[in-house]
Structures are given as structure tokens and as C-alpha cells.
Amino acid sequence: MTHARAYQILGLNESATADDIKAAFRKLAVQWHPDKCPNNRKEAEEKFREILEAKDTLLNKDGQKKEPESFTDNLEGLYNAFNSFFAQERVSRTRRGEDLHHVLQITLEEAVAGCIKRFEISRLQECSDCRGRGGEEAFCEQCKGQGHISQRAGYFSFTQTCISCGGYGAAIKTKCQTCHGEGRVPKKEVVAVELRPATEHDAVLVKHNFGHAGRYGGRPGNFYLHISVLPHHKFERIGDDLKIKYPIPFSTAVLGGTIEVPTLLSGNIILHIPAGTQIGTCFRVPGKGVKSRQKTGDQIVEITIEVPQKLTEKQKKLLQEFSKGE
């Protein structure tokens, strides 16, 4: 895939940074994940593979942005292509299996505390009836098992790949009734994964050789688990800190007092509010944030003011007198 095509698929231009490419990939991967499109799964699978190929075209294994191939690189590729074209060796049928991607949604509590999650996946596995061969094989009669055919035309002779067997030198004589000649069959299984405490949103876990089975003896692909932390109705994670917006009565903000504030995992805490506290004031509670390998974060409490909707006549008069003295 060309760089221009990869940028087009991800909806970016060539000035995009590596972070821009990663963000676009994550957004499109969630949108086009086959599990998210059960009514149009085939198109989603094709789109997902295209998005993944675009990301791999633009980023290297370290997540850094790749530069487009130079003219010299293209010449070298052309030279290798000619060598491959004129080689008179049989083509190997062995193919590596496709990578398998799965998006796992977890709560903020599960992300902070760590958890064990179980979920079902479907992956292509080697057909046990034909042992991945696709059926009963026989030497190709067209090329006599060579994988290529040599022909002469006058003073010229040329060699071309056998179109009957595709260069393999063998062809399936009788297709397996279980896998219909594919050598692989889809199977569902339940996977259990242990997530460590302080798991981050957009984290990616990799299990090698646990993707789809390879073709004709090829090694399996890899399994990629993409973690998606769901938004919380009260708390927001900021690095290793947890932030909550907490409303207090108007009287407490003016006169001061104590309030009970919830934490994410360890119940309520008592917080002292000084007199004259303004809206938007933040109090930091040490050690009540996310406990990561490096440190334990804090809980940040941002104060908002509860404005009473109903007042008694006495309360109205007191507020009116208060406003006159401002």
C-alpha cells in the first residue's frame, strides 16, 4: 500500500504526526470492528484489514512514523521482483495466519483496581479432518509438479507460473467436506485475561501466535487486545490522579464546614471546607488516586455550588439583607 493511499484511508494528510496516525487508527478500528457491525460483518472485516494495513504502512514497530520509499528502494524492489519472476522454483503454499483484533470495554473501577475478564472470540483454526491441507492433494498434471511451465516460440523460450496450480506444483484433488478446501474452520472459545491495576485507556495487549491459524502449515497470526475504558459518571482519570466535581451547599461555601466525599474504591472521606470557598476551588486528597508501578496518585475534589431552587420567606429576607451589605 502506498503512503498516499494509507493517509487517504485514515483521513489524514502527509503532515500528520505519529500520534495523529495512532488516534485515527484507534477511532476507525473501533468503528469498523466486525463485532460492532454484525449486520455487515464481511465489509467490516475488509475495512478493518485495510485500516490496519494503512497504519502499518505509516508506522514502524516502535510506533514511529515511516518515511516514503526512495527511488533507490523502488529500484531494489523492482530488481527483486524480476528475480522472483524468472526464478524456476515452486511457490510455497505456506502462509502466515492473519492477526486477530478484539476491543474489550472495561469500567474505570476495573481499570484502576485490576481485574480478570472473560470474553468470547472466534478465530480460524486448523481443520482437524484434513490437518490443514484443504483435502486430498495430488501432483499437478499440467506442470508435472514443477510449479512452472517452459515453452518455446521460434528462437525464444520462456518460463511462466503454472496457472493450473498457481505455482505450488500440487493441487487439491478432493476438497475436504468440513473446511471446503480452506484448511481452516472458525471456532468460538472463551478467553480469560488478567489486567493489572492502573490499566490505561487505549492500552494494547499482545499474545503471539494466538491469531488465526496459518495456511498449509504456516504459523498463526498474533492476537491484539485493545482496551477501552468506559467514561465514569462521577470520576475522571488524569494520569495517576482521579478528579471529581462535588457540589456543596451555598451556606457551607460561605461559612465553612465538613462534607463527605466519595472515592472510587475506598468509600467516603471527610473533607474540611474553609469559609469563603469559591466555586472551582480544588482540594487534593493524597493517596486516593490510581496506584501505578511508579507512584500512587491523588484525588482532586473540585467544588461546585448548589443553588437552592426553593427558599422560605425568612431565607429570602436574610439573603436580601445580605445582598444589601455587599
Instruction: Answer with the one of 47, 68, 89 that is the final residue of a domain.
Output: 68
Q: What per-residue confidence (pLDDT) applies to 68? A: 59
What span, in angstroms and rounded, lies between the C-alpha atoms of 119 and 193?
Answer: 9
Give the least confident one: 26-35, 106-115, 224-233, 263-272. Answer: 26-35
In a domain, 82, yes or no: no
Domain count, the chain: 2
- The mean pLDDT value for 232-244 works out to 97
Q: What per-residue confidence (pLDDT) applies to 230? A: 97
Give the least confident one: 2-11, 60-69, 262-271, 275-284. Answer: 60-69
pTM over 0.75, yes/no: no
- Is the model's pLDDT at 79 over the cut of 70? no
What span, in angstroms and rounded, lies between the C-alpha atoms of 105 and 230?
Answer: 7
In a domain, 302, yes or no: yes
What's the CATH code of the domain at 12? 1.10.287.110
What's the CATH code of the domain at 307? 2.60.260.20
Do the beta carbons of residue 303 and residue 277 sit within 8 Å? yes
Q: Which amino acid is at 259?
A: I
Range of the domain at 320: 235-324
In a domain, 158, yes or no: no
In a domain, 190, yes or no: no
What span, in angstroms and rounded, lies between the C-alpha atoms of 92 and 165?
Answer: 11
- Is the model's pLDDT at 51 over the cut of 80? yes
Q: Which amino acid is at 309?
A: Q
Instruction: Answer with the one of 15, 49, 68 that is the final residue of a domain.
Output: 68
Instruction: Answer with the one of 50, 68, 86 that is the final residue of a domain.
Output: 68
Give the mean pLDDT of the chain: 84
Angle at 229 between CA 212 and CA 207, to 5 degrees: 25
What span, in angstroms and rounded, lies between the C-alpha atoms of 209 and 219?
Answer: 7
In a domain, 239, yes or no: yes
User: With bands split at pLDDT 50, 70 and 90, how would you rate the model's confidence at 91?
Assistant: low
In a domain, 194, yes or no: no
Percentage of the chain modeled with pLDDT above 70: 87
Q: What per-residue confidence (pLDDT) applies to 88? A: 47
Give the least confident one: 27-31, 88-92, 221-225. Answer: 88-92
Parallel, antiparallel or unpaired: strands 223-229 and 100-106: parallel
What span, in angstroms and rounded, lies between the C-alpha atoms of 24 and 141?
Answer: 50
User: With bands split at pLDDT 50, 70 and 90, how would you rate the model's confidence at 112?
Assistant: very high
Do the beta carbons of residue 240 and residue 284 sit within 8 Å? no
In a domain, 10, yes or no: yes
Query: Residue 276: exposed, middle, or buried by beta-carbon count in 10 A (0-12, 13-18, 19+)?
Result: exposed
In a domain, 140, yes or no: no
Q: Provide the β-strand partners of residue 59.
A: 65
